[in-house]
Amino acid sequence: MAGWVLRIIIQGPMNVVSRRRLAGICLLIAGMGSSFARAGEPNRQVLVRDITSIAGVRDNPLIGYGLVVGLRGTGDSQQTIFTVQTLANAMQKMGVIIPPSTSVVKNVAAVFITATLPPFARPGERLDVTVGSIGDAHSLEGGVLLMSALHGPDGKVYAEAQGSLIMGGYFAGTGSNGKQVNPTNVGLIPGGGIVERDTAVDISGFKTVSLLLRNPDFNTATEIANAVNASFHKPVASAVDSSRVDINVAAASEQSVPLLIARIQNLEISAHIPARIIINERTGTIVMGGDVKLSPVAVIHGNLSIEVTTSYNPTLVGGRQGFPNPVALVPQTTVSVSDGPAQTMSLEEGANVNELVNGLHSIGLSAHDVVSILQAIKAEGGLQAELEVQ
């Protein structure tokens, strides 16, 4: 926004009243200026590091298979064949040969192990490891994971995992009288993984640094390129498309690629938030942006309720002579229908979804009703936003 300057030229002396009036006028003009500035402000200011990632610098998933031991009779049953075979193989590696049919695995559970290998990981670094049961074990509480290899997508071993599990839930009691809070067949081993293979990427040889937008948008990509060019006072960046911005390393003339990336990531730009509404029909959750607008729309929602009830009334039926009459329960079905007045709501031009939702709640509609109405308004063309249903 271009700056503006207001000059007030005073000719002649001023008394106290005139000075007070002048001060009030200056405050009024200052308030108008701040209002103009707020009106011209972009959606929100963010750092480039918060909305982008560097191409070629990424995490990698790891997965492994292993055994958790030391359980209190809550492990896999004998019917879990792969647990019995794995235990026999582990014992054989230790020099103890046992027939798999004689292995008792109630204190052992077969598990899958997952972890995330961060970029620039070096051998010896620690990773957090998640362990989940794949058999019929009831709980992994109190268990210890035996040393297991973690493989990458290419099948190579990148880390080893071992350690005691920390559970996020618990089970108290026995049988039907027990109470469970959160799953007990998934556990975490903080720092339980050790990196064994160097996966660091040499970024010093990059000729082009590519920024990838987490939420693709042409306006945001252009804002990033303009901010980078303004910072270096020359054209070094260009928006390739809505999700990628390329920076020429040679043209930037920075001392090193890490310094170049650090300088770019600390730039502040205007992020453009798309008009979007996210709806989860299963839970009735609605998440929307504040800038979503509606065309003039009228909503009429009926209130029809049908209730069917069945009651059983005791009825005497005929019996044999000399014996009391038996009593039978005869079902009686009652159907009641109530059709209340339709709820009506109107919105003027320029109304937002927040006003619509508040209005719908004010007339007593549930979250699932609001979801249906938003879908109908979108189909009618009155909702100027992207509607995503999960």
**By C-alpha distance, which of 50, 47, 53, 49 is closest to 270?**
47
- Can you give the pLDDT at residue 132? 93
Specify whether the backbone of 154 is left (phi greater than 0), alpha (psi in -120 to 50) or beta. alpha
Q: Quick one: how far is CA 258 from the chain centroid? A: 30
Residue 240: its pLDDT value, please? 92
Q: How far apart are CA 59 and CA 195, in angstroms?
A: 13
Query: Going residue by residue through the chain (390 aa), what tens digit of pLDDT does each one get?
Result: 444 454 555 555 555 545 555 555 554 444 444 444 444 444 578 899 998 999 888 899 999 999 999 898 888 887 888 888 888 888 888 888 877 777 777 889 999 999 999 988 999 999 999 999 998 888 888 899 999 999 999 999 999 999 999 887 666 656 556 666 667 889 999 999 999 998 888 888 889 999 999 888 898 899 999 999 999 999 999 999 989 999 999 998 888 899 999 999 999 988 777 777 787 767 767 777 656 777 766 666 665 444 545 565 666 555 555 555 565 656 666 655 555 565 666 666 666 666 776 776 666 666 677 777 777 777 777 777 777 777
CB atoms within 10 A of CB 389: 12
**Amino acid 106: pLDDT:** 86
Give the pLDDT confidence score for residue 254 in this predicted structure: 86
Q: What is the pLDDT of residue 2?
A: 44
The pLDDT score that the predictor gives to residue 76 is: 86
CB–CB of 357/286 below 8 Å? yes
Please give the DSSP secondary-structure letter assigned to residue 168. S
Host H or E run for residue 355 = helix 353-362
- Tokens 């972009």: give the residue: 42
CB < 8 Å & 24+ apart, contacts of 239-244: 240/210, 241/216, 242/213, 242/216, 242/217, 242/218, 243/212, 243/213, 243/216, 244/55, 244/210, 244/211, 244/212, 244/213
Predicted local distance difference test score (pLDDT) of residue 39: 41
State both tokens at 313. 């009334």
CB 307 within 8 A of CB 318: no
For residue 172, what is the enclosing H or E element? strand 170-172
pTM equals: 0.64
What is the rounded distance in angstroms from the CA atom of residue 363 to the CA atom of residue 61? Answer: 49
Q: Cβ distance 117 to 104 under 8 Å?
A: no
Amino acid present at 266: N
- The number of CA neighbours under 13 Å toward the Cβ of 231 is 24
Residue 195 is predicted with a pLDDT of 95
- pLDDT tens across 287-335, in order? 776 567 777 666 666 654 445 455 656 665 555 555 555 656 566 666 5
Amino acid residing at 234: K
pLDDT for position 28: 45
58, 121 Cβ separation under 8 angstroms: no
